[in-house]
Structure 1
Amino acid sequence: MRPAVDRDDLGAWLLKANPAVWDLRGFLDAGERRLTSWAVRPGYRSALMRPDDRVVFWVSGDGRSGFERGIWGLGAVLAPAEPWHDAERGFWTDEGSRHGVRARVEVDVRLLEEPVTAASLRAAGVLDLEVQRQPFAANPSFVSTAQLARLAELLPDWPVPATGAGAVER
Structure 2
Amino acid sequence: MTAGRSVTHENLGAWVIKCNPQKTPLAPMVAAGEAKRSWCVADNYRSGLMQPGQRALFWVSAHRRRGFWGAGIITGVATREDGRLHVPVEIPLFGAPLTAAELSTVPELATLELFRSPQQANPSWVSKREVRILDRLLDVHWNRATPR
- Correspondence list, 1:17-166, <5 A: 17-28=19-30, 31-35=31-35, 36-61=37-62, 63=63, 67-85=64-82, 102-125=84-107, 126-156=109-139
TM-score, normalisation: structure 1? 0.74
Q: What SS is found at the alignment partner of 1:123?
A: coil
Structure 1, residues 94-153: CA drift from partner, whole Å, max 9, x if none?
Answer: xxxxxxxx1111111000111100000011222111011100010000010011011111
User: 1:168 matched to which residue of 2?
Assistant: none
Q: How many residues align?
A: 136
Q: Point out the more displaced range, 71-80 or 38-47.
A: 38-47
Runs of 5+ consecutive residues of structure 1 not aligned to the other structure: 87-101, 158-170
CA distance in 1 between counterparts of 2:70 and 2:139 reads 10
Q: What SS is found at the alignment partner of 1:152?
A: helix
Q: What SS is found at the alignment partner of 2:59?
A: strand
Q: Indicate the RMSD between aligned Cα atoms, in angstroms.
A: 2.0
User: 1:96 matched to which residue of 2?
Assistant: none
- 1:3 positional shift: 6.5
CA distance in 1 between counterparts of 2:49 and 2:69 reads 23
Percent identical: 38
- 1:25 positional shift: 2.6
Q: Which has the higher helix share?
A: 2
Runs of 5+ consecutive residues of structure 2 not aligned to the other structure: 141-148
User: 2:145 matched to which residue of 1?
Assistant: none
CA distance in 1 between counterparts of 2:85 and 2:5 reads 20
CA pair 26-78 structure 1, distance change in 2 beyond 3 A: closer
